């Protein structure tokens, strides 16, 4: 019997233990990894993930407050609010963002929806915070969004209040406009009143009293489903609307001023001399503040910036012009107070006035002959003021000019005001390293040379003459009110100072200004009314220095930007003035022919408004003088 060879299979216990240990270690490592991951997710990232979980179910949605209304002096609405609709997307809810955007573009039939820039700028945003896709979409596109909402997960519509500037460009430089807060503006907000995305005032009254207009934001806690759709409101804090602002502006008078100026470039301001309140303020050309509501287009912005007539500039407070002959009453005031002349003192005007090697001329080709103060203002004799001005001296003239409010900001409730320039010997030495020359004083006496004024400064100084010597701070804001018309804060008149000119001398100047409008040879005859109640002064200010025989040059032969500015300042009625007007027509030529007719329309319009529906009649005793009142 054959014997089989048998192979015995033996197991090495050591090898088995090694494999067993390897499996155990792998299990331990896997368990440790899972434990570590759970620890990381629950301990390290637990708070964040919990918040993300809540955000996926419960969200806080900001409720923006309505900005307060802006009203005119009679309570009529100048700035209102209207609804605007924005589209936003929540990427975490949309998931396939590109697909949602493609569907949205096809619904809109618009290939211009581009989120690349928004997503790049929003990489550090919090989860589930919406990203803005489009602003002010209009009700037709809103309907398309609502109709296709099931195919647009993550897309939401926000109702955003925007400003409506009812009078458009007519009041742009008073009201200003609003826009989204910038990074620089946020950095200045140390109190924390503003958040990114807030709308704030950028110019005008919107900026000046933004703290009153903005209101207080609210919010609501809402429950949403996995698609981000609103299911329930869990809690709500209503927004508090801003206060209403009532201005001193009269909308009807503003429209009169706007229409009177027609298509010319320049500015018109009207003020109540009794308290400094601004009744109207017009700049031309202007701009439509509604363009800025949701972000102005590049084309519109370039058009405004590249316009040589500067429609964005508030010329009433930041335009600086030579005052021309409208400056002469203040030279006369200094001469009277300093005793350099008396009202009867005469200067012989033969048209020429030599100073060293130079000869200065009067505007009148034949001269005015022997001329006293009244006629010098009425007929605007240059030689008279050359003579008395050089006797006073530049520094004394500067001192009186500053007391009338020139060379300093008035403090009006608008940003961007400039101070003008009142030159002195010291100023010229510091600025040019040169000494003052007598010929420069001669130019100064007729409002030329270095002196520069803003239209508002010029008007305020004439108001001080009109009211007997009180220099008021110009005022645009009348009151801050609640929705129910309760007064929160009032803005009473602010008296800055009393000018150092006697009432007797003021009356002499007022009578001369009355003569400039109402006497046969007055330079402001274009403003003469049947009531003979207006006092005023013309001015023609050179933009560039012209040759001595410049009267031979025709206006149309001079480039527009080199033509003279036309000025006119007036107030009425004579006895108890209640309105003062300044008109500056840029490159308009002579004040009597270009600016005075505009002022006439405004004065007529004002009294027509006051006596609406009846013939223009003044109260007893408010007309012009019945005799010379010195």
Which has more confidence, 566 or 98? 566
Cα 39 to Cα 26, 31, 35, 48: the distances in Å are 19, 12, 6, 14
- Look at residue 257 in the predicted model and tell me its pLDDT: 97
List, for residues 214-266, the tens digit of each pLDDT value: 998 888 887 766 555 666 777 788 889 999 999 999 999 999 999 999 989 99
| Range with the poorest average pLDDT among 22-26, 67-71, 410-414 | 22-26
214 vs 387: CA distance, rounded Å:
56
CATH code, domain with 74:
3.90.1310.10
Judge if 200 and 224 occupy the same domain: yes
What pLDDT, on a 0 to 100 scale, did the predictor assign at position 434?
A: 96
Q: What is the pLDDT of residue 616?
A: 34
Based on the fold, state whether residues 258 and 185 are members of the same structural domain.
Answer: no
476 versus 624: the higher-pLDDT residue is: 476
7 belongs to a structural domain: no
pLDDT reported for residue 245: 98
Residue 213, pLDDT above cutoff 80:
yes
pLDDT at 155: 80
* End position of a domain, from candidates 246, 263, 294: 246
171 assigned to some structural domain: yes
Q: Quote the domain boundaries for residue 92.
A: 63-246
Where is average pLDDT lowest: 55-59, 321-325, 462-466, 477-481? 55-59
Q: Are 176 and 257 members of one domain? A: no
The band of 110, judged by pLDDT with boundaries at 50, 70 and 90, is low
Total tally of structural domains belonging to the chain: 2
Which residues, other chains included, contact 566 with Cβ-Cβ below 8 Å and sequence gap of 6+? 539, 540, 583, 584, 585, 588, 589, 590, 591, 593, 594, 595
* Whether residue 484 lies in the annotated active site: no
State the pLDDT at residue 625: 67
Label each residue of 144-184 as H, E or C: HHHHCHHHCCCEEEEEEEEEEECCHHHHHHHHCCEEECCHH
Domain membership of residue 505 (yes or no) is: yes
- Bigger pLDDT: 285 vs 57: 285
Q: What is the pTM of this model?
A: 0.83
Within a domain: residue 203?
Answer: yes
Please tell me the least confidently modeled range out of 89-103, 298-312, 417-431.
Answer: 89-103
Please measure the distance between the N-terminal and C-terminal CA atoms of the chain and give it in whole angstroms.
Answer: 165
Residue 415 and residue 384 share a domain: yes
pLDDT of amino acid 51: 60
% of the chain exceeding 70 in pLDDT:
85
Residue 351 in this model has a pLDDT that exceeds 80 = yes
Query: Nearest to residue 428, comparing CAs of 399, 406, 401, 395?
Result: 395
Same domain, 324 and 231: no
Say which residue, 197 or 340, is predicted with more confidence. Answer: 340
Q: 276 and 209, same structural domain? A: no
* pLDDT given at position 120: 42
Pinpoint the alpha helices (H) of 182-327: 183-188, 204-208, 210-213, 251-261, 298-305, 315-318
The per-residue pLDDT of the chain, averaged, comes to 86
| Higher-pLDDT residue of 189, 446 | 446
Residue 151 shares a structural domain with residue 262:
no
Residues 219 and 256 both lie in one domain: no
Catalytic residue among 277, 318, 325, 410: 325
- Residue 547 lies inside a defined structural domain of this protein: yes
- Domain match, 211 and 270 both: no
Position 291 in a domain? no
Average pLDDT over residues 601-611: 94
Each residue of 544-602: pLDDT tens digit? 765 544 555 666 668 878 889 999 999 999 999 999 999 999 998 888 889 999 999 99
Of 127 and 160, the one with more pLDDT: 160
More confident residue, 43 or 546: 43
Most confidently predicted of 106-115, 122-131, 469-478, 611-620: 469-478
- Least confidently predicted of 47-51, 388-392, 567-571, 604-608: 47-51
Which DSSP category does 200 fall into?
A: E
Residues 278 and 203 in one domain: no
CATH of the domain at 438: 3.40.710.10
- Cβ atoms of 366 and 531 closer than 8 Å: no
The answer on pLDDT for 86 being more than 50 is yes
Lowest mean pLDDT, pick from 272-286, 421-435, 485-499, 555-569: 555-569
DSSP 552: G
Q: What is the pLDDT of residue 554?
A: 62
Q: Which of 262-266, 335-339, 482-486, 586-590 has the lowest mean pLDDT?
A: 586-590
Residue at 299 is within a domain: no
**pLDDT-above-90 percentage for the chain:** 60
Q: Residue 134: what pLDDT?
A: 74
Q: In this predicted structure, which of 83-97, 283-297, 616-630 has the lowest mean pLDDT?
A: 616-630
Asked if residue 255 and residue 227 are part of one domain, the reply reads: no
Q: Is residue 218 part of a domain?
A: yes
How confident is the model over 473-493, as a mean pLDDT? 96
Considering the domain architecture, whether residues 274 and 237 belong to the same structural domain is answered as no
* pLDDT value for 430: 96
Task: Assess whether pLDDT exceeds 90 at residue 451.
Answer: yes
The bridge status of strand 77-89 relative to strand 58-63 is unpaired
What is the band of 619 on the pLDDT scale with cuts at 50, 70, 90? Answer: very low
CA distances from 15 to 19, 22, 25 (A): 6, 11, 15
CA distance 81 to 161: 6
* pLDDT surpassing 70 at residue 279: yes
Res 14: pLDDT: 66
pLDDT value, residue 96: 75
């Amino acid at each position: 019997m054959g014997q089989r060879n048998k192979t015995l299979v033996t197991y090495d216990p050591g090898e088995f233990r090694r494999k067993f240990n390897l499996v155990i270690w792998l299990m331990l490592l896997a368990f440790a990894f899972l434990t570590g991951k759970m620890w990381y997710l629950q301990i390290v990232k637990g708070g964040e993930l919990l918040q993300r979980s809540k955000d996926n179910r419960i969200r806080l949605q900001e409720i923006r407050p309505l900005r307060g209304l802006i009203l005119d002096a009679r309570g009529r609405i100048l700035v209102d609010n209207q609804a605007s609709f924005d589209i936003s997307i929540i990427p975490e809810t949309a998931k396939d963002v590109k697909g949602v955007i493609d569907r949205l573009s096809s619904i809109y039939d618009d290939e211009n929806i581009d989120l690349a820039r928004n997503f790049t700028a929003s990489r550090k945003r919090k989860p589930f915070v919406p990203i803005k896709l489009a602003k002010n979409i209009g009700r037709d596109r809103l309907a398309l969004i609502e109709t296709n909402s099931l195919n647009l997960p993550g897309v939401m519509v926000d109702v955003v209040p925007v400003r409506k500037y009812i009078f458009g460009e007519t009041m742009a430089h008073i009201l200003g406009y609003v826009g989204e807060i910038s990074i620089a503006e946020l950095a200045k907000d140390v109190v924390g009143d503003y958040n990114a995305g807030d709308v704030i005032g950028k110019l005008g009254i919107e900026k000046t009293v933004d703290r009153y207009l903005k209101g207080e934001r609210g919010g609501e806690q809402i429950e949403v489903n996995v698609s981000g759709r609103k299911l329930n409101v869990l809690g709500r804090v209503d927004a508090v609307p801003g206060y209403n602002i009532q201005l001193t502006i009269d909308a009807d008078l503003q429209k009169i001023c706007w229409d009177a100026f027609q298509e010319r470039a320049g500015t018109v301001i009207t003020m109540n001399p009794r308290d400094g309140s601004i009744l109207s303020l017009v700049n031309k050309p202007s701009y439509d503040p509604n363009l800025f509501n949701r972000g102005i287009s590049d084309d519109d912005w370039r058009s405004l910036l590249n316009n040589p007539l500067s429609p964005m500039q508030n010329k009433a407070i930041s335009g600086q012009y030579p005052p021309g002959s409208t400056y002469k009453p203040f030279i006369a005031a200094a001469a009277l107070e300093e005793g350099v002349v008396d009202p009867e003192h005469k200067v012989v005007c033969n048209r020429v006035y030599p100073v060293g090697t130079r000869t200065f001329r009067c505007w009148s080709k034949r001269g005015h002959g022997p001329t006293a103060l009244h006629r010098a203002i009425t007929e605007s004799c240059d030689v008279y003021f050359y003579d008395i001005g050089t006797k006073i001296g530049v520094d004394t003239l500067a001192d009186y000019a500053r007391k009338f409010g020139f060379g300093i900001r008035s403090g009006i409730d608008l940003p961007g005001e400039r101070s003008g320039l009142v030159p002195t010997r010291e100023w010229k030495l510091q600025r040019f390293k040169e000494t003052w020359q007598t010929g420069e004083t001669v130019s100064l006496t007729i409002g030329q040379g270095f002196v520069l004024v803003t239209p508002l400064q010029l008007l305020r100084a004439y108001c001080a003459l009109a009211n007997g010597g009180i220099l008021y701070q110009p005022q645009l804001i009348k009151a801050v009110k609640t929705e129910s018309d309760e007064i929160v804060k009032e803005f009473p008149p602010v008296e800055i100072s009393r000018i150092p000119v006697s009432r007797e001398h003021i009356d002499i100047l007022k009578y001369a200004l009355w003569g400039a409008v109402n006497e046969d040879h007055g330079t402001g005859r274009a403003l003469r009314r049947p009531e003979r109640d207006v006092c005023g002064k013309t001015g023609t200010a050179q933009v560039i220095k012209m040759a001595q025989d410049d009267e031979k040059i025709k206006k149309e032969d001079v480039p527009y930007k080199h033509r003279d500015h036309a000025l006119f300042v007036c107030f009425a009625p004579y006895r108890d003035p209640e309105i003062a007007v300044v008109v500056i027509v840029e490159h308009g030529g002579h004040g009597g022919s270009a600016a005075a007719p505009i002022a006439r329309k405004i004065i007529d319009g004002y009294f027509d408004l006051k006596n609406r529906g009846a013939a223009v009649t003044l109260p007893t005793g408010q007309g012009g003088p019945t005799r010379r009142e010195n």
